[in-house]
Amino acid sequence: MGSIIDDQGMENIVLEHILKVQKLEGETCHLLKDQIGSLITRVLLRVNENLKNLDGIKSYDGFFYHIESMTLALKDFLGNLDEATRSGENSPVDQLFKGPRLMVEKFIQKIPDLEDNPITYERMVIINGIILKLKEHWMKQLAGDLKGCQLDYNSSEAAMQSLMYDQVREFFVEGMTETKSIIEANIERLSYFDEGKKYEGLTRELIDLLSPHIKEVKKMAEAEFEPEITGFLVALLAQLTQVYKQSIDLLKPFDERTVLVGLGDGVIHMAQVDDLLKSQSLRDESKLQALYKQMTRIREESVQEVVGIIENKVAYKLEEIRGKIIEEGEVYKALAGQIHQVFFGLVQSLDKSVTSYKTEAAGVIAAGIGHTMALKLEALGEMKLAYSQGKEALLTSLEQAIVEKKDKLILEAPMILEGVMVNNDTVLERSEKRFLDHLDFIRQEQFNYDMAFMKNDLLFELRTFEELIEYSLKKLIEIAPEEAGEMTELMIGAMEASREMLSVYGVELIIPKAHDKFEARIHEAIIAEEAHGFVKGEIIKTINIGYRKNDHTIIRASVMAAR
């Protein structure tokens, strides 16, 4: 029967479908990368915020503000000295604080004149460096192949959204170990960095500067000076002691603080990524819905094209098989018509010859033969009509059955397309086989109908006609041998004409000869007996001829076989 699905047409549909799907997968991959890229930005902002808020990370900031404050205090100290030494360079205060003044002035000169905190700036630079390394790591990972670009568009929209969510999440799961390694490899720099160390050193230097002078001023305050000088010394001692104490208090917790290492989990972990992903997924849901609708449309269009191929091919097959069945039916109707004509001519000839018989018995036999042939003629006409009507009914049922099978085949179009898409033709082959097997069944049914007509109707009448010839002519010859010539000629002529018609239409006679080997396929043993000169399995004689068309035996020849 051939193929139901046009291979070239299917190949074109699949190729076009693949191109459309590949384009859509590119859009899906682009959306997935957009989602990951957007989430990378949000995660980096969270990492930046977490780094800035780590416990103890701002410890150095106090050194800058302390030095800034202490610088003002020391300048105030110098101002007080200036106030106390207005009487001249040789005043007692000037003589007492000449050395400390020089040291304080040198210390103040070391302090940079800055408006912004350099410690904060350097910390920001280090954090930005960590962020850039993380971004570089994730962007390199993003540049690779993404599993999520190949989505199963046959799944539900919800399942597709869930799969997309899982693919985005998996991206960060796969890179989390490296992410934490990058953070932990750089986070120690936030514990000790240049500007922080510089201002820490200035604070320690300030303590070293103040410690001996406080002791010296304390001794001076306890010495016997004029009340004005003593009051100044006491006030100065209090001022220097406050600066010293603030410096010591600032350094104490810093000296006890541990290095910021092993804080990767604190800076970023999957729970934080999941929170950000959930809020982002809601925002990107409409984009994914649009892709899903687009894929649904592409699949429906491709399936519809497959349906079109099926409908066209089935229509062609239906017309092809219908034409063959009608053509074959016409052959058998034509054969029946030809046999009917032979019988009609015989009946007319018999009617004319009945009155010419001189013997009454011969006339009776001739009349009986004529009556029987008239009945056969009538039966052949009815059989021919019944055959035509039955053939039309079968054709109608044939068309209905094929349409039903076509509808089932169309229902399988989506599975056929999907199977061919993945180079699996199982569904296609199975669907085609079911349909073609059904067509073969219909053809066989039609063939059986034709053969039943031949066997039970047309050939049955011919077979009984030949039996009638043999019996009637034998009787006629016995009663009136001199009058049997005309009847014999008519009957034998009709028999030979009928056999000629059968031959023209491809029906062969099965007439076994004596000693032919018995074959159950074409012979039917009516009688089995022992016979002189015959071996077991040989045909003794033919009782009734048989018929066959091509390789199909319509009626087996009835024989007497040797046993």
273-287 pLDDT tens trace: 888 888 877 666 777
The whole-number pLDDT of residue 31 equals 79
Q: What is the location of CATH 1.20.1260 in the chain? A: 302-505
Average pLDDT over residues 171-199: 79
By DSSP bridging, strand 523-529 and strand 557-562 are: parallel
- Kindly indicate the confidence band of residue 1, based on its pLDDT and cuts at 50, 70 and 90: very low
What was the pLDDT predicted at 258? 45
Is the pLDDT at 109 greater than 80, yes or no?
Answer: yes
Half-sphere exposure of residue 415, counting CA atoms within 13 Å on the CB side?
Answer: 12
And the tokens for 94?
């000037």
5: helix, coil or strand?
coil
- Residue 92: pLDDT band (50, 70, 90) is low
What pLDDT score was predicted for residue 515? 94
Query: Mean pLDDT over residues 401-423, rounded?
Result: 74
Provide the 3-class DSSP secondary structure of residue 561. strand
Please, what's the largest Cα pairwise distance for the chain?
194
Q: Which of 292, 297, 43, 26 is nearest to 155 (CA)?
A: 292
What is the pLDDT confidence band of residue 260, given thresholds at 50, 70 and 90? very low
Is the pTM above the cut of 0.75? no
| Poorest-pLDDT segment among 255-264, 436-445, 554-563 | 255-264
Predicted confidence at residue 7, as pLDDT, reads 66
Average pLDDT of span 78-89: 70
* Least reliable range by pLDDT among 131-135, 350-354, 391-395: 350-354
**pLDDT of 262 above 50:** no
Mean of pLDDT over the chain: 80
Selection from 87-91, 342-346, 502-506 with the highest mean pLDDT: 502-506
At 34-52, the pLDDT tens digits run 888 888 888 898 888 888 8
On the CB side of 181, how many CA atoms lie within 13 Å of its CA?
A: 5
Question: 295 and 160 in contact (C-beta within 8 Å)?
Answer: no
Query: Has domain 302-505 been given CATH number 1.10.10?
Result: no
Q: How far is the CA of 81 from the CAs of 197, 234, 240, in angstroms? A: 31, 13, 13
**542: β partners:** 559
CB < 8 Å & 24+ apart, contacts of 122-126: 122/193, 122/194, 122/195, 122/196, 123/57, 123/58, 123/60, 123/190, 123/193, 123/196, 126/186, 126/189, 126/190, 126/193
Handedness of CA 358, 360, 365, 371 (dihedral sign): positive
Q: Is 164 left (phi over 0), alpha (psi -120 to 50) or beta?
A: alpha
Residue 546 has pLDDT above 50, yes or no: yes
pLDDT for the residue 265:
53
Share of the chain above pLDDT 90, in %: 9
Please check the confidence at residue 323 and state whether its pLDDT lies above 90. Answer: no
Model confidence band, residue 517 (pLDDT cutoffs 50, 70, 90): very high
Q: Which of 207-216, 347-356, 413-422, 507-516 has the lowest mean pLDDT?
A: 413-422
Is the per-residue pLDDT at 259 higher than 70? no
At 192 the pLDDT is 65
Q: Is 56 left (phi over 0), alpha (psi -120 to 50) or beta?
A: left
User: Which among 304-318, 336-350, 470-484, 523-537 has the top mean pLDDT?
Assistant: 523-537
Tell me the average pLDDT across 471-493: 81
Q: How does strand 539-544 pair with strand 557-562?
A: antiparallel
The DSSP code for 12 is H
Quick check: 151 pLDDT over 60? no
- Higher-confidence residue of 546 and 104: namely 546
What are the tens digits of pLDDT across the range 356-394?
667 777 777 778 888 888 888 888 888 888 888 888 888
- Rounded alpha-carbon distances, angstroms, from residue 227 to 83, 223, 230, 261: 16, 11, 5, 57
With 0-12 CB in 10 A as exposed, 13-18 as middle and 19+ as buried, what is 367? middle
Contact residues for 190 (Cβ-Cβ < 8 A; gap 6+):
51, 54, 57, 123, 126, 127, 260
What's the burial of 53, exposed, middle or buried (CB within 10 Å: 0-12/13-18/19+)? Answer: exposed
Go through 54-67 and write b for each residue having 16 or more CB atoms within 10 A of its CB, e for each that does not: beebebbebbbebb
The CA radius of gyration of the chain, in Å to the nearest whole number, is 58
How much is the pLDDT for 256? 59
CATH 2.30.22.10 region(s) of the chain? Answer: 508-563
Give the pLDDT of residue 86. Answer: 65
Q: What is the mean pLDDT of residues 253-273?
A: 62
Chain centroid to Cα 52, Å, comes to 47
Crossing angle (nearest 10°) for helices 413-421 and 360-411: 60
Pairing relation of β-strands 507-510 and 539-544?
A: unpaired
Whether residue 94 is predicted with pLDDT greater than 50 in this model: the reply is yes
- At the top level of CATH, the class of 508-563 is mainly beta
C-alpha separations of 260 from 34, 120, 186, 195, 224 in Å: 34, 17, 10, 17, 53
Question: How many angstroms separate the CA atoms of 85 and 98, rounded?
Answer: 10
